[in-house]
Amino acid sequence: MSTAFFVTGTDTGAGKTFTSTVLLHALRQRGLRAVGMKPIASGSEETPEGLRNEDALALQAASHPRPDYALVNPWALREPTAPEIAARIDGVEVTLPPIVAAFEQLKREADVVLVEGVGGFLAPVNAQLDQCALPRTLGLPVLVVVGLKLGCINHARMTVDAVQSRGFRVLGWIASEVEPTMLFPDDYFEALKAALPIPCLGRLPNAPGADPATLTRHLSLPDAFIPA
């Protein structure tokens, strides 16, 4: 039996990928086969192997067993902009079937599948689909990453409200220190804990270049992350 969950952020640059890599290592340190997935990734570069996205590559590197890139990132878009716009520029329409097929294959290969979103929870994927269609289609609970920066209390409350009002189960939230020069980060963190009606699962420091496997001590994972 495998389990899976969806990682969303309060906005672009909230620290979703960094947090997701630490989460993957935390799960692996519990003896679980944990793999990451970035179904849609904008801002991809052409390589001899095809389009590759930095965030998707980071998830692939943090995964064990190491999945094929095509499973990690079914939709790689060239331009580093909103996915709906990036897809239009590339002349493609992002659809769900390739994502579902890749997800089901990863579930067969791993105990836990972490699915990272792109942008915020309601970012459009195309004219018919918002980002929240991904966890809805895949049947996933949601974890929220809050980037600690000016405005994060409002963004966090709106994101959690958007998730809960659409009927999703929320596993909790994790703070990510994305701005090393932020004023009063401890006060913001305490205000977030008081304002958000979901469990806080940790606070990750700003640590550029750090091995994510060394930062797992900053997280506390509930049993919901562990397969039955």
What pLDDT digit, counting tens, does each position of 167-204 carry?
999 999 999 999 999 999 999 999 999 999 999 999 99
Distance CA 39, CA 107 (A): 14
Residues in the chain: 228
Calculate mean pLDDT across residues 58-65: 98
Choose the catalytic residue: 16, 38, 107, 149: 38
Q: Is 193 a catalytic residue?
A: no
Distance CA 171, CA 91 (A): 36
222 pLDDT exceeds 90?
no
pLDDT the model gives residue 2: 79
23 pLDDT exceeds 90?
yes
pLDDT the model gives residue 1: 63
CB 118 within 8 A of CB 42: yes
- pTM: predicted TM-score of the whole model, two decimal places: 0.96
Non-local (6+) Cβ contacts of 54 within 8 A are 43
Strand partners, 47: 50
In the chain, % of residues over pLDDT 90: 91
Distance CA 202, CA 225 (A): 14
